[in-house]
Amino acid sequence: MHTSRSNCDCKWRRRKEARPAEIIDAALDLFVVKGFNATKLDDVARKAGVSKGTVYLYFESKESLFREVVKQIIVPEVEKAEQKAAEFVGSQSELLKLLMVNWWEVVGKTRLGGIPKLMVSEAANFPELAEFYLDKVVSRARNLVVESIKKGVESGEFKACDPVATARLFLAPVVFAVIWDKSLATYDKEDYDRDEYIRMHANNFFDGLLQTK
């Protein structure tokens, strides 16, 4: 009996330790599908298989839960990109292509792609969350591109340009594709190859930015 009870206690502890992650995962699914405003903590609790009171044990509000979704699931991907950039050996155009393709694979093609669409649609109603997302995700990702473009200009790989404006031009078509996929694409009769779209954007972008020999 003692061994059986011990095993049950261990399983209960493991389950309890896993609950915050399970709640965050459930919240991400619902935020992406329903949006932030329409998602209720009751819905999150039901999807995570816990009571609403359990959700409040770990998260004081829906806003704090959203922040944890960003910190636990999206920010680590930004950190990985920053690490790749810090360790990268090669041209800046190769680095930017790598960062773009990697972002498309881990965000654009996955449920995480619903978060940029959510932020664009609900930023005006939740300005504090918008500022939080800009600080933790958008600014850091954009800064990676800005710094890479600066290095490319300084080394002579890229033509002289405004790095900040150029970074926005680099990112905009990819962000648009993600938002489109999570909104109007469902109703668009003319589909397109997303991977080819990303490849063409990279080629066209660097055709204009690279120094001609």
Q: What is the pLDDT of residue 15?
A: 52
Please name every residue paired with 158 in a beta bridge, in sequence order, or none if there are none.
210
* The two three-digit tokens of residue 199, written as one number: 């490849």
User: How far does CA 88 lie from the centroid of its chain?
Assistant: 21
pTM of the entire structure? 0.87
Q: What is the pLDDT of residue 209?
A: 94
Tokens 């890229």 sit on residue: 158
Question: What are the pLDDT tens digits along the chain (213 aa)?
Answer: 455 555 555 444 545 555 899 999 999 999 999 999 999 999 999 999 999 999 999 999 999 999 999 999 999 999 999 999 999 999 999 999 999 999 999 999 999 999 999 999 999 999 999 999 999 999 999 999 999 999 999 999 999 999 999 999 999 999 999 999 989 999 999 999 999 999 999 999 999 999 876
**Shared fold status for 1-59 and 62-209:** no
The dihedral formed by the CA atoms of 139, 171, 119 and 126, expressed in degrees to the nearest 10: 40
The domain ranges of the chain are: 1-59, 62-209
User: How far does CA 115 lie from the centroid of its chain?
Assistant: 7
Q: Which CATH architecture has domain 62-209?
A: Orthogonal Bundle (1.10)
Please name every residue paired with 210 in a beta bridge, in sequence order, or none if there are none.
158
Q: Which CATH architecture has domain 1-59?
A: Orthogonal Bundle (1.10)
